[in-house]
Amino acid sequence: MQTTEQNAPQHLYAYSVREFDGADGKKARSWTRIGVAFPHKDGTGFNVEVHSFPLDGRIVLFPADSEARDEEPAEAPPPPAPSRNGNSRRR
């Protein structure tokens, strides 16, 4: 996301989205705000502050003034497979 002084986003909220079966038997979602992302002063990237981590490892970002989270979140790629030796640390 490239930004300029005129259209720089203020910040993005970070959410964990949990899907569950609602009381009516339909799928429902619970959105929990877990952090914030804000652009670097030079506009080339973001700082991300995460206050908790979702169990599934998926974080959804939306602009602070967005109502887009009422829609279906985009599918995230699957997590990487564990290594064959069971050691998941990167070297």
pLDDT at 68: 56
Q: How far is CA 11 from the centre of its chain?
A: 13
- Residue 41 falls inside a structural domain: yes
Determine the Cα–Cα distance for residues 64 and 22; give it in Å rounded to an integer: 26
Tally the domains of the chain.
1
pLDDT at 42: 86
- pLDDT tens by residue, the chain, 91 residues: 444 455 655 889 999 999 999 999 999 999 999 999 999 888 889 999 999 999 889 999 998 876 655 555 555 444 444 445 554 444 3
Return the structure tokens found at 69.
Answer: 């989270």
Which among 83, 3, 15, 80 has a CA at the least distance from the CA of 46?
Answer: 3
pLDDT at 59: 93
- Residue 70 falls inside a structural domain: no
- Residue 54 falls inside a structural domain: yes
Q: Which helix (H) or strand (E) holds 61?
A: strand 60-63
Return the structure tokens found at 39.
Answer: 């652009």
Q: Residue 25 sits in which domain range?
A: 12-62
Which pTM was predicted? 0.61
